[in-house]
Amino acid sequence: MTSSVAHLKAKIDWDDLNADKSYIKTDRYGGSKLANALFFFQLDRRLRAAKSPVTAIGVHPGVASTSLGRHMGLSRS
């Protein structure tokens, strides 16, 4: 599951899940990444309880060692 470190300061607005009342993109982004993290933690807990060999994990791709930026003129040092 793709998440982000943005979840660390995020909250989910349970009273406005569809952003009908308010939309601040950074708040909604962080909330969506928090929801993803809650999902993969719960999924992993349930998989372990069922003795499944599958593991649910979350990643923050921005800090992963990849060559994702190779076409964007970014250099890795």
Catalytic residues: 29
Residue 8: count other Cβ atoms within 10 Å of its Cβ.
11
Decide: 3 and 35 in contact? Cβ < 8 Å: no
Helix count (H) and strand count (E) of the chain? 1, 0
Report the sign of the C-alpha dihedral through residues 17, 34, 30, 69, in that order.
Answer: negative
